[in-house]
Structure 1
Amino acid sequence: MSEKMIENNKVSVIGEIISGFTFSHEVFGEGFYMVDVAVNRLSEQADVIPLMISERLIDVEGDYTGLTVESIGQFRSYNRHEGTKNRLVLSVFVREIHFIEEFTDYTKTNQIFLDGYICKAPIYRKTPLGREIADLLLAVNRPYGKSDYIPCIAWGRNARYASGFSVGTRVKVWGRVQSREYTKKLSETECEKRVAYEVSVSKLECAE
């Protein structure tokens, strides 16, 4: 994989493992597994972020619940087919993982950089309290003609700025990965709680 492709999608999260490993898929005899980490915010809330990790990086039979790890990799997406619909599934694809004994700098627990292209017109809105928000969908290129589609959310001045981006605009984004619970209406009588993952933008710039 070219270094340039890795440079356009970089994420580092430090958090506590809160689940066991579950099998995801296999590629050329290499098994990939999912595990959840809880990453603290400065507000003392936590984002629960799924990691996708190779069995060649860690013993997936082990129990690491409660241990703190630093995971470095890329934020990736794929479409999961659910009946007649596709659902965008996001996770951190781990390239390096390190166990950490002590950690004190909580400003660096969750960092991401993306360099991609606006692939859907930004949606700009204001909350009832007047806070400005813009939803963006960024296509970040991978080798072999693939792309990851990453939802991003910008606030305040960044939201106003982002609302002017047109489809195809190249954008650089810095921020953090966050999880958010929402309720999906399945029918008139049935609802389901789900978790969405997105990038909360702290800085962005037009790269063209």
Structure 2
Amino acid sequence: MEHNANQITLRGNLSAPPTFSHENHGKQFYRFFLEVPRLSGVADTLPVIAEASLLESAGADPGGMLTVTGQIRSHNVRTDGRRHLMIFVFASALTCEDGEALNDAVLEGFLCREPIYRRTPLGREICDVMLAVPRAFQRADYLPCILWGRTAQEASRCHTRDKIGITGRLQSRVYTKLTEEGAEERTAYEISALTAQIPMDLL
């Protein structure tokens, strides 16, 4: 399942030069942000990690358009004694090519907590789920997803360990967090679902 359970393709503009992220098994990895505009004109600024050799082959320049193929990954990070989930795209291929913006994600996994269903003040239906998406070596990526409208209703009937599939886009969302030091601006990343495959017995 893990081979096709997590796929994403992005095309957008490289917002700044890549910076060193980490080294693993003798390979160096770099982190950069890709600005991918939505149809509304608002741009999602999305974190990508890629091996140095991929960046060298692509020859990407800041401001230039870059296509990224890979997977959405998660990693638990401890900051100031607290854990938080870091979401990023792990690139398997990079190419410099012009074209329309792309942000296409396909996920399949299992709910690792009960869905949270709610309505906005304007009455729009929303359902938040946390999807555990398997990958190699018996690992999993834990990815926050948000579903809308009728799809939100259907997802709200699911339970922990139910298997669902989602197609959508990875989006960034800036919010304000109140801390002991005052208000702090942070960015959250989540998959906004366009369609979802829900178990038939729950529909």
Quote how far apart the aligned CAs of 1:83 are: 2.5
| Aligned twin of 2:108 | 115
User: CA 1:14/1:147 → structure 2, altered by over 3 Å: closer, same or farther?
Assistant: same
C-alpha contact 2:164 2:196 (8 A) present in aligned 1: yes
- In structure 1, give the amino acid aligned to 2:166: V
User: In the alignment, which of 99, 105, 113 is matched to residue 103 of structure 1?
Assistant: 99
Quote how far apart the aligned CAs of 1:23 are: 1.4
Q: How many residues align?
A: 199
Unaligned runs of 5+ in 1: none
- In structure 2, give the amino acid aligned to 1:185: L
C-alpha contact 1:9 1:74 (8 A) present in aligned 2: yes
Post-superposition CA distance 1:63-117 (Å, at most 9, x none): 71111011000000000011221110011100011101x314x4xx100000100
- Superposed structure 1 runs of 4+ greater than 3 Å apart: none
RMSD between aligned alpha carbons? 1.5
3-state SS, counterpart of residue 19 of structure 1: coil
| Aligned twin of 2:162 | 169
d(CA) in 1 for partners of 2:30, 2:144: 23
| Aligned twin of 1:202 | 194
| Aligned twin of 1:135 | 128
Name the stretch that deviates more: 189-198 or 125-134. Answer: 189-198
3-state SS, counterpart of residue 58 of structure 1: helix
| Aligned twin of 1:50 | 47
What's the TM-score, normalizing by structure 1?
0.91
3-state SS, counterpart of residue 162 of structure 1: helix
Matches within 5 A, 1:1-208: 4-59=1-56, 64-100=61-97, 102-104=98-100, 106=101, 109-187=102-180, 190-206=182-198
C-alpha contact 2:154 2:198 (8 A) present in aligned 1: no
What's the TM-score, normalizing by structure 2?
0.94
d(CA) in 2 for partners of 1:19, 1:158: 36
3-state SS, counterpart of residue 197 of structure 2: strand
C-alpha contact 1:172 1:207 (8 A) present in aligned 2: no
Post-superposition CA distance 1:20-60 (Å, at most 9, x none): 11111111110111000100101111100011000121139
Quote how far apart the aligned CAs of 1:207 are: 5.2
C-alpha contact 1:181 1:195 (8 A) present in aligned 2: yes
